[in-house]
Amino acid sequence: MTFDHAKRVKARHERDLLLHDFVQGVGLGEDHGRPTIKVYVYHEALAASSSLPKQLEDVPVVIEDSGLFETY
């Protein structure tokens, strides 16, 4: 699997992931050289993040505690 493939998968699913109130953002990462989709959630919502998929198509999803994003 390539990062380009993971990027396309992310693009197809990002909108649906962002519909969850506790999702702060979606990005790409890697785990042991393998591409992943990172979903950033704030700490208080980590338990709710268990409702997110463990993978999208064939790309693993990694939940990251991002803290609460704030705009200034």
Q: Is residue 70 part of a domain?
A: no
Domain assignment present for residue 47? The answer is yes
Q: Contact, 37 vs 6, CB < 8 A?
A: yes
**Could you tell me if residue 71 is inside a domain?**
no
For residue 55 the two structure tokens come to: 């993978």
- Domain total for the chain? 1
Span 36-61, pLDDT tens digits: 999 998 877 677 778 899 999 999 99
Q: Is residue 19 part of a domain?
A: yes
Query: Which residue range is the domain that position 55 belongs to?
Result: 3-65
Per-residue confidence (pLDDT) for residue 5, from 0 to 100: 97
Instruction: Evaluate whether residue 72 is within a structural domain.
Output: no
Query: Which residue intervals of 1-72 are DSSP H helices?
Result: 3-18
- Predicted confidence (pLDDT) per residue in 6-36, tens digit: 999 999 999 999 999 889 999 999 999 999 9
Tell me, what DSSP letter sits at residue 67? -
64 CA to centre of own chain = 8
